Chain A
Amino acid sequence: MEDLILSKVATRQKPAAKTAKVSTNGTGKTQGFTDFVEVEQAKAEYVKRRASQLAAIKKTDKKLLREMLYQMVLGRIFEEKCAEVYRMGKIGGFCHLYIGQEAIGVGSMMALEKTDMVITAYRDHVQAMIKGMTPESVMAELYGKEGGCVGGKGGSMHMFSKELEFYGGHGIVGGQIGVGTGMAYAAKYKNSGQVTLCFFGEAAVNQGIFHESLNMAQLWKLPCIYICENNQYGMGTSQARAMSSRSIAKKAEAFEMANEFVDGMDVMAVRDATLRAIARARKDGSPTLLEIRAYRYMGHSMSDPGNYRTRDEILRYQERDPIVLFKDSLKAAKVLTDKDFEKIDQEAIAAVDKAVAFADESPYPAESELFTDVLA
């Protein structure tokens, strides 16, 4: 099953050229990192921490581990289905898929308490589900139907659930970094003990609001964990073509903020780093910046043919697929078996099928809904 999904993903991406295009803009930087040194480094480091990681897995609650894998698989299959129904015209507008980045959402959000707060950008379907939203309410929202989490008013980019402390998917690059900072401000003000996870892409780091927010958070000791999901591209522009430095984690040092660089293909590494950040936040409100590096398997959105990178590049990153790596570890640690994996796949497929059926049957929102919720 897993192989099938992976190959499906791989063949979907339309590669433009067989060899890496080496183009430069004024900065003289090439588009991607065509030597794949970093991929090899990540592999080597993964091997180095493997023993300690297996030990950590053995110490972690088995039910939680199973749930983590389930959420990753569910996310993958859900997004595959989105691509399929998008092409059938069931979903409109923009649609940004999370495939390849599942370990970031699962590793970080599943380290939270239920009462903790989360805010993210437009690549939000899977994170909404990890926070507890049902696949039905996310899919129906994608269909613009009444049964969606916001009744069809928001669509793909704008999943929200107050009840689940999910403060939304946001469409303006960087905007939610400031809003997340404000959520952490409220937690501190109320002394509620909540921490905030604030997600954004690496391209959002180039917006002024990133720098403004980190400064305030460190200055005022706001319990916010800034998670930069570095999938290496902002639309068709690689990080190298848009940012003067490679390390995003180090930017925190300008604010004297705690920071870590994390392998985003390793869900346990993401979990560990998040747990450390949560501990800091709960202790004295200290914020943290986590740069979690992964890779966006699909185009930026459903309308992006992805001509700016090669098939070779995509395949190199897919060698370290987060779901495959995690399954491998769970098996090695004797936590789950192939049979369990099979069962998890089946459960996820059933959940997604149910979500699609629900979305199909859900009615369009009543016309009167156009005028509600403009003002409180």
Chain B
Amino acid sequence: MALLTIRDALNEALREEILRDENVFVMGEEVAEYDGAYKVTRGLWKEFGDKRVIDTPITELGFAAVGVGAAMAGLRPVIEFMTWNFSILAADQIINHAAKMLYMSGGQFKVPIVFRGPNGSAYQVSSQHSQALEAFYANFPGLIVVMPSTAADAKGLLKSAIRDDNPIVFLEQERMYGIKGEVPEDPDFTIPLGVADIKREGKDCTIVARSMTVPLALQAAELIQTEFDVSVEVIDPRTIKPLDIDTIVNSIKKTNRLVIAEESHEFASVGAEITYQVMDHAFDYLDAPVKRISTTETPMPYAKNLEALALPSVEKIVAAVKEVCYL
């Protein structure tokens, strides 16, 4: 085991996969000479050179398309969006092209591509730079959507994503790049896509959290444990689509209560989907209505106090758990 930041864990995954498969390359804005806007690709250009690590012009639609075409023709591109906000310019390639190719070619053309970068809010970067887009991409068949919350998950899932033959939307979080965790050193360590992880065991209430809300949920769970002696289970689906609903349902069968914490806006969110699936599979096991904490239905404001108000927080999650536990 090595103690790594999420940033370095992602970096190791990229490095190992570049070494492992000559068809893997990394492309995006400032990924090469600048070492990445958020330093996820640090050192890779120096080590592997222009062929494997490529700086692009600011032309998201263009380089996403180059990635899709290259993937159809046999390569395994990893396309970095400096942030996922800018992927919206490339949404045509991700949604209209990558996601549809296998189906409309009758299974002939696979698109083994990973689109990755930071998703969600950062630090006061305002309306156009703070969006969590997992629900948007998860709505389209043909895409796999991944959201790691720990260093080990980041590494293991990114390696699986690069080896997978499908287009993958791999959503990181800028606020989390510096979080450290133990990571296995075996270069063949991977984590399968589509499998949830129980981040904390508990018996009284389940919180389903992902990405940035996982550490918040874990903190909330500790607070509730000490203050109310209520034991909270925290589940991280890790892959949003396909969703490991079984792990969530099994937890609810034990706890009978569910809180969902997410960074995206609430309307038509992944939380809404989970709520439906839980109703479908575990309605009789629920002892309280499902409660959801999301970012407010507002664009992200710049002002510090308003930004804090808009985002999910430990306090908001604690309040939700208290509500479903009738505390």
The answer on a CB contact under 8 Å between A153 and B303 is yes
| Chain A residues, Cβ within 8 Å of B50 | 24-26
Using known A-B contacts A94-B129, A367-B306, determine if residue A25 contacts B123 with beta carbons closer than 8 Å.
no
Q: Among residues 331 to 376 in chain A, which have CB atoms less than 8 Å away from a CB atom of chain B? A: 364-365, 367, 369-371, 374
Q: Is B80 an interface position by the 8 A CB rule? A: no
Q: Report the count of interface residues on A (CB-CB < 8 A).
A: 43
Instruction: For the complex formed, measure the closest distance between the CB of B53 and the CB atoms of chain A, giving whole angstroms.
Output: 9
| Chain A residues, Cβ within 8 Å of B89 | 172, 207
Using known A-B contacts A155-B126, A206-B58, A308-B34, determine if residue A370 contacts B302 with beta carbons closer than 8 Å.
no
| Chain A residues, Cβ within 8 Å of B123 | 92-93
Q: Is B37 an interface position by the 8 A CB rule? A: yes
Q: Is A72 an interface position by the 8 A CB rule? A: no
Q: Is B225 an interface position by the 8 A CB rule? A: no
The answer on a CB contact under 8 Å between B57 and A243 is yes
Using known A-B contacts A25-B55, A208-B62, A237-B55, determine if residue A154 contacts B127 with beta carbons closer than 8 Å.
yes
The answer on a CB contact under 8 Å between B297 and A364 is no
Q: Is A145 an interface position by the 8 A CB rule? A: yes
Q: Which of A24, A153, A208 has the most CB of B within 10 A?
A: A153
The answer on a CB contact under 8 Å between B58 and A207 is yes
Q: Is A320 an interface position by the 8 A CB rule? A: no
* One of B51, B85, B126 near A26 (C-beta < 8 A): B51
| Chain A residues, Cβ within 8 Å of B37 | 235
The answer on a CB contact under 8 Å between B58 and A203 is yes
The answer on a CB contact under 8 Å between A365 and B306 is yes
The answer on a CB contact under 8 Å between B309 and A367 is yes
| Chain A residues, Cβ within 8 Å of B61 | 207-208
Q: Is B299 an interface position by the 8 A CB rule? A: yes
Q: Which of A92, A204, A206, A235 has the most CB of B within 10 A?
A: A92
A interface secondary structure, majority: loop
In the complex the two chains form, what is the Cα distance from A144 to B56 in whole Å? 33
* One of A144, A173, A371 near B124 (C-beta < 8 A): A144
* One of A26, A93, A145, A173 near B58 (C-beta < 8 A): A173
Using known A-B contacts A94-B125, A154-B126, determine if residue A370 contacts B310 with beta carbons closer than 8 Å.
yes
Q: Is A10 an interface position by the 8 A CB rule? A: no
In the complex the two chains form, what is the Cα distance from A23 to B55 in whole Å? 12
Closest A residue to B46 by beta carbon equals: A23
In the complex the two chains form, what is the Cα distance from A242 to B129 in whole Å? 23
* One of B30, B34, B127, B303 near A364 (C-beta < 8 A): B303
Instruction: For the complex formed, measure the closest distance between the CB of A120 and the CB atoms of chain B, giving whole angstroms.
Output: 14
In the complex the two chains form, what is the Cα distance from A243 to B58 in whole Å? 10
Q: How many residue pairs, one in A and one in B, have C-beta atoms under 8 Å apart? A: 134
Q: Is A236 an interface position by the 8 A CB rule? A: yes
The answer on a CB contact under 8 Å between A25 and B32 is yes
Using known A-B contacts A206-B59, A243-B57, A308-B34, determine if residue A157 contacts B126 with beta carbons closer than 8 Å.
yes
Q: Is B128 an interface position by the 8 A CB rule? A: yes
| Chain B residues, Cβ within 8 Å of A144 | 124, 302-306
Q: Is A174 an interface position by the 8 A CB rule? A: yes
In the complex the two chains form, what is the Cα distance from A279 to B54 in whole Å? 44
Using known A-B contacts A206-B58, A242-B57, determine if residue A153 contacts B86 with beta carbons closer than 8 Å.
no
| Chain B residues, Cβ within 8 Å of A374 | 297-299
Closest A residue to B86 by beta carbon equals: A172
In the complex the two chains form, what is the Cα distance from A38 to B30 in whole Å? 25
Q: Is B215 an interface position by the 8 A CB rule? A: no
Instruction: For the complex formed, measure the closest distance between the CB of B111 and the CB atoms of chain A, giving whole angstroms.
Output: 21
| Chain A residues, Cβ within 8 Å of B56 | 242
Q: Among residues 300 to 316 in chain B, which have CB atoms less than 8 Å away from a CB atom of chain A? A: 301-306, 309-310
* One of B57, B122, B305, B310 near A365 (C-beta < 8 A): B305
Instruction: For the complex formed, measure the closest distance between the CB of A349 and the CB atoms of chain B, giving whole angstroms.
Output: 27
Q: Is B29 an interface position by the 8 A CB rule? A: yes
Instruction: For the complex formed, measure the closest distance between the CB of B251 and the CB atoms of chain A, giving whole angstroms.
Output: 33
Using known A-B contacts A236-B33, A236-B34, A367-B306, determine if residue A172 contacts B298 with beta carbons closer than 8 Å.
no
The answer on a CB contact under 8 Å between B126 and A203 is no
In the complex the two chains form, what is the Cα distance from A144 to B123 in whole Å? 13
| Chain B residues, Cβ within 8 Å of A170 | 128
Q: Among residues 13 to 51 in chain B, which have CB atoms less than 8 Å away from a CB atom of chain A? A: 29-30, 32-34, 37, 50-51
Closest B residue to A238 by beta carbon equals: B33
The answer on a CB contact under 8 Å between A93 and B127 is no
Q: Is B160 an interface position by the 8 A CB rule? A: no
The answer on a CB contact under 8 Å between B128 and A23 is no
Instruction: For the complex formed, measure the closest distance between the CB of A229 and the CB atoms of chain B, giving whole angstroms.
Output: 14
| Chain B residues, Cβ within 8 Å of A371 | 296, 298
In the complex the two chains form, what is the Cα distance from A369 to B304 in whole Å? 12
Q: Is A158 an interface position by the 8 A CB rule? A: yes
Q: Is A171 an interface position by the 8 A CB rule? A: yes
The answer on a CB contact under 8 Å between A370 and B30 is no
In the complex the two chains form, what is the Cα distance from A367 to B301 in whole Å? 11
Write 5 A-B pairs (CB below 8 A) sorted by A numbering. A24-B50, A25-B55, A144-B302, A153-B301, A208-B61
Q: A207-B59, A242-B56 are in contact. List 12 more A-B contacts (CB 8 A).
A: A25-B54, A25-B55, A31-B33, A93-B126, A153-B302, A153-B303, A203-B58, A204-B58, A207-B89, A367-B305, A369-B303, A370-B310
